[in-house]
Structure 1
Amino acid sequence: MANNKIPDWVTAELFEDVLKTDIEGYSKVKNFKAEIGSAAGENYATIMLRIHVEVELKDGKFKKVSFMMKLPHQLEILQEMTKKNNMFDMERSMYLQYVPEMEALYKAAGLEITFGAKSYDLKNAKSDYVALEDLGMRGFKNANRLEGLDQTHTERVLLKLAQWHAASAVRVATKGPYPEDLIIGFFKDDNRPMMTEMTRSLGEKFLKCCATYEGNEAYIEKVKELQPVIMDKMFEMAKVDPTEFNVLNHGDSWSNNIMFQYDAFGKIKEVYMVDYQLPKYGTVAQDLQYFLLSSTKFEDKLSKFDYYIKRYHSYLVEHLKILKYSKPIPSLRDIHLSLFKHGSFGFSVATGVMAGVLLDPTEKASFENFVGDTEAGVDFQMQLYSGPRYRRHIEGVMPWLLNRGALESN
């Protein structure tokens, strides 16, 4: 391995076919550089590379292009997890098959809607990979995860999620069910022991910190009762209930997996979702709670939650109608009922991804420390739940979850 994490087979030759196809007048590669593309704490499960290429054209001019490349982590537990769940095959099939299918549904209805970056096939890759255009070249960037998304950003993301959900539901109505791996997602029986152990370990640290949160007396006993059964509840949520409105969830819809493009006046022009590694067919309650609880700003997170669900629902209805959805359109009440029914997933989000989103940048932020029982791991896990920013959010979220019945263990 060169540069600690960059494999020596990631070379200019690997991208030659893509460059020949994509760049008019391509002659040869003048310069090629691969570098680590994300900082600690910005991406846990994979290695992200940014590939910089300077190309010489046939007319003697030069052009700079850039790609993003996702590779498996070198950590054994993560390699095993990504292999067992076909996470790279899954993401590549999302980019190469399902995303284009959803976009084609809109095109047929007279709307140009794009859901993500352009994806590439690399013939001689020596490991699992996902290769994508570098959206940064078109001015796309993440919002500030620590501040959280304001109302304008949140509504634009909800519009994109509603468009995606609508298309994914229409696809089932017209083409039939998704394959089993998209229906089960990450909730496979052979993942259960690892997920249970990880949840138990993090749950212990959360309970320790929870005892120091202001107002914890109202809910800490409920949290203790929930700990042994929370994984059962997650697997219960993962079962598809045919009486609910079901969609293909993005599955990992937090702020770093959402890219914004702005115009010259700073207005949002476009929103793309990235990182389609964990798609899961089922209740919309998954994506909605995951996104709204993990990634919105503190002032809006709870006070505007119901308003945001109403906005999402209006976008959803509009796009189901555009795509001529042939089944009953869910009511706003149906969406709220799903959210209440799967409320314990909100607790899982608040004690899981929300903690990672709100953590100050630190070199200790790694998957090893997220799951490890080393001194560094325990220290990192305690840091997740004890920082002032997380404490502020969780002290608001826990009473809200309690009042919605989301902390019931039965």
Structure 2
Amino acid sequence: MSKTTQQNVKSNNDSEATAGGDGKIVYENPKWLKAELFENQLKETVPNYQKILKFEAKPAVAAGENYATVMLCVNINVELMDGKTKLISYMMKLPQENEHFIDIMRNHNIFDIERTMYYEIVPEFEQLYRQNGAKVNISAKCYNFETPSEFGVILLEDLRPHGYKNANRLEGLDLEHTKAVLERLAQWHAASAVRVETKGLYPEAFQKGVFNESQREMMENYRKSNMPIFLEALKEFKAKEIVAMENVLETLTDQLIRTSIYDPDDFNVLNHGDCWCNNVLFKYDREGNLEDTLLIDYQMINYGSPAKDLLYFLLSSTSYDVKLKHFDYFIRFYHENLVKNLKLLKYPKKLPTLKEMHIAVLKYSIWGISVCVGIMAVALLEQNNDANIDGFFGNSEAATRFRNSLYGNPRFLKHAKVLISWMYNRGFMEVSP
């Protein structure tokens, strides 16, 4: 896969959400999203800016690409002082307006967390590398932007005109692309560990992540709404493995909350928390060779073992051919890059060993179970008009239809069957007394 295909770009819109007759959610742009909101931004960033000629905000990604948030592509034609025109484009992320997501936001404002990441933490990571003679660009540029939205928005540069795009999530990442992500993730993790040694621990919200006690009810609702359909879809698979899976899923909420609290005896990093292929952008040269890799979307940050990010990414986003065949090699490759970057940044503590990394993967194996029943199913689902966050919790026909398509998807079942056997044989499904 020397070249990847860009996904259908989508966005729903945010402020006025209405339900159609079949239960589907239809979004419209928020009423406050007007051209004049961008005047100061354009004056500050566009040389010789004079005025806005045309303003358009439309969906940036197709249904099934985003669930918790809405992504809009904002296109603004501007006139310059010399009379010439220029097209300026941004990506704007807004919270979805539904009761489940609003409850999450009021207990754990992931937009505040993401803004802090873009404005403070990621620049600190990049500065650490500059101080040690390396130039590392981790992510897109984020702009300070005020709106009447209750939880705020995230306004980003649009990297698509610069040649960045997502890989095809249905195919999954091949060996080359997986290694590129692991290299970038190792840089991120190394800088995040060094930053703790120089500036202290991250804020409490970063430490506990989204899977915390305040979200227990939401997590239990998700488990009870989705797991019966997941188990039903796999009922004809090997009985002993499905029984083991059913048993461990009974403990899923408790285990995720418990392992979201970092263990000071572990080697800990700031986990991206949502590192799957839709949150990675790839850039290619004219010959189609992979040139750069960027990580985006920092709403599910969690301080703890890097095993969480490794399980999340490797099990959700790799192709069927490499997912398990090269899993142990990927851990080694990541570890080599992690240690290299820790040494570069002069990490003052004991370096983690490869053996410790494999042990951590087993210790935090519940995250692998969570990936199998969660983000992996999402990644492998074709474009689906029923796809939105209500589909995981709601009782509408559209929500039921969505969950059935999520777990009844032949592509998902193909991955799930081999992954469940692999996890069973590694002890992932053993439940501690």
Residue range with higher mean Cα deviation, 219-228 or 159-168: 219-228
Contact 1:14–1:125 (CA<8 Å) still a contact in 2? no
| 1:221 counterpart = 2:267 | no
CA deviations 1:284-304 (Å, max 9, x no partner) are 111000000000000000000
| 1:96 counterpart = 2:122 | no
| 1:56 counterpart = 2:82 | no
1:194 aligned residue: 218
> By how many angstroms is 1:132 displaced?
0.6
Residue range with higher mean Cα deviation, 288-297 or 236-245: 236-245
Contact 2:147–2:153 (CA<8 Å) still a contact in 1? no
**3-state SS of paired residue (2:51):** strand
Contact 2:170–2:380 (CA<8 Å) still a contact in 1? yes
**3-state SS of paired residue (2:401):** helix
CA distance in 1 between counterparts of 2:249 and 2:284 reads 43
1:315 aligned residue: 337
| 1:235 counterpart = 2:241 | no
CA deviations 1:280-331 (Å, max 9, x no partner) are 0001111000000000000000000001111101110110011000011101
Q: Name the TM-score, length of structure 2 as normaliser.
A: 0.92
For 1:7-406, list aligned pairs within 5 A: 7-127=30-150, 128-213=152-237, 216-406=238-428
CA distance in 2 between counterparts of 1:67 and 1:56 reads 17
> By how many angstroms is 1:124 displaced?
4.1
* Distance of aligned partners of 1:4 and 1:353 in 2 relative to their CA distance in 1, 3 Å threshold: closer
Letter paired with 2:213: D
Count of matched residue positions in the alignment of Structure 1 and Structure 2 = 408
Contact 2:132–2:344 (CA<8 Å) still a contact in 1? yes
Contact 1:145–1:255 (CA<8 Å) still a contact in 2? yes
CA distance in 1 between counterparts of 2:75 and 2:257 reads 42
CA distance in 1 between counterparts of 2:331 and 2:135 reads 25
CA distance in 2 between counterparts of 1:140 and 1:305 reads 27
* Distance of aligned partners of 1:126 and 1:227 in 2 relative to their CA distance in 1, 3 Å threshold: closer
CA distance in 1 between counterparts of 2:401 and 2:45 reads 47
Contact 1:88–1:277 (CA<8 Å) still a contact in 2? yes
> By how many angstroms is 1:378 displaced?
2.1
2:7 aligned residue: none
> By how many angstroms is 1:110 displaced?
1.2
CA distance in 2 between counterparts of 1:143 and 1:126 reads 31
2:10 aligned residue: none
1:409 aligned residue: 431
> By how many angstroms is 1:131 displaced?
0.6
CA distance in 1 between counterparts of 2:330 and 2:74 reads 38
Residue range with higher mean Cα deviation, 150-159 or 368-377: 368-377
Contact 1:6–1:36 (CA<8 Å) still a contact in 2? no
CA distance in 1 between counterparts of 2:63 and 2:336 reads 37
Structure 1: stretches of 5+ with no match in the other structure: none
% identical aligned pairs: 43
CA distance in 2 between counterparts of 1:30 and 1:181 reads 42
2:5 aligned residue: none
Letter paired with 1:137: P
Letter paired with 1:155: K
> By how many angstroms is 1:361 displaced?
0.9
Residue range with higher mean Cα deviation, 219-228 or 394-403: 219-228
Letter paired with 1:351: V
CA distance in 2 between counterparts of 1:302 and 1:365 reads 28
Letter paired with 1:37: A
Contact 1:35–1:49 (CA<8 Å) still a contact in 2? yes
> By how many angstroms is 1:125 displaced?
4.0
Q: Name the TM-score, length of structure 1 as normaliser.
A: 0.97
> By how many angstroms is 1:229 displaced?
1.1
CA distance in 2 between counterparts of 1:220 and 1:107 reads 50
> By how many angstroms is 1:46 displaced?
0.9
> By how many angstroms is 1:212 displaced?
2.6
CA distance in 1 between counterparts of 2:230 and 2:50 reads 57
Letter paired with 1:317: V
Letter paired with 1:34: A
CA deviations 1:162-207 (Å, max 9, x no partner) are 0000000000011111111100111221211110121122111111
